[in-house]
A and B are shown apart, each in its own frame.
Chain A
Amino acid sequence: EIVMTQSPATLSVSPGERATLSCRASQSVRSNLVWYQQKPGQAPRLLIYGASTRATGIPARFSGSGSGTEFTLTISSLQSEDFAVYYCQQYNNWPPYTFGQGTKLEIK
């Protein structure tokens, strides 16, 4: 089973600033990586698939990069609605699909 590790666990950033979230896989997942956003009391929302392809309706301030074992989600200019928990998920080696433990993005 591939283990996904996200860092940091909590990230404090001011509105308007850039946020950089990391996800590391225990072995190569090539570009088969997804990012989700989850707000309190809501289901996760798809942001990025294929490591770098934005899902329909996702603002351009969200971007994904990386391949192999190291991935990054960047939010270029944080808006108030972006403060949430972010999860990565791999779909290269399954079953099972596996998720990271999440990064909480909070207002500084």
Chain B
Amino acid sequence: QVRLQESGPGLVKPSQTLSLTCTVSGGSISSGAYYWTWIRQHPGKGLEWIGYIYYSGSTYYNPSLKSRVTISVDTSKNHFSLKLSSVTAADTAVYYCAREHSSPQGGWFDPWGQGTLVTVSS
């Protein structure tokens, strides 16, 4: 059974870069069968898709975040990472990683990591 686990600092200062890693266990990112995704949820609010990466390194980002987001993958460590630059308080959220099941049209997310709260504050 595939499990995902987010890790990284819970507090980031404004204007700095948020960095998180998602470690995958019980399955290989390199299998090529799935995409690997970051999603966030602002406190008490809905869900926002950030972007995904394929094991080959190809990425797709939310246009609203594209200028500040980088998602990378390390297949040797079976993990993928998120960097979000120039953060502000509006980036305070619970960040989830998830596996994307892809159809010809697009995809859905299962399973999800437990999520990690990142607070942007000085």
Nearest CB in chain A to that of B110: its residue: A46
Q: Kindly provide the distance from the CB of A12 to the nearest chain B CB, expressed in whole angstroms.
A: 19
Inter-chain contact B101/A89, CB cutoff 8 Å: no
Inter-chain contact A87/B108, CB cutoff 8 Å: no
- Given known contacts A43-B115, A55-B110, is B105 in contact with A97 (CB within 8 Å)? no
Q: Which residues of chain A in 74-108 are interfacial with respect to chain B, using CB atoms and an 8 Å cutoff?
A: 87, 89, 91-92, 94-102
Inter-chain contact A89/B62, CB cutoff 8 Å: no
Q: How many Cβ-Cβ contacts under 8 Å join chain A to chain B?
A: 68
Inter-chain contact A30/B63, CB cutoff 8 Å: no
Q: Determine chain A's interface SS by DSSP, over half rule.
A: loop
Interface flag for B46 (CB, 8 Å): yes
Interface flag for B106 (CB, 8 Å): yes
- Given known contacts A95-B61, A96-B64, A100-B46, is B114 in contact with A43 (CB within 8 Å)? yes
Inter-chain contact A87/B115, CB cutoff 8 Å: no
Residues in chain A near residue B49, CB distance under 8 A: 94-99
On chain B, the number of residues with a Cβ less than 8 Å from chain A's Cβ atoms is 26
Residues in chain B near residue A65, CB distance under 8 A: none
Interface flag for B36 (CB, 8 Å): no
20 additional contacts (CB under 8 A) given A91-B108, A97-B107, A101-B46: A34-B109, A42-B114, A43-B98, A43-B111, A43-B112, A43-B113, A44-B47, A44-B112, A45-B110, A46-B108, A46-B111, A55-B110, A89-B109, A91-B105, A94-B60, A94-B106, A95-B63, A99-B48, A100-B46, A101-B45
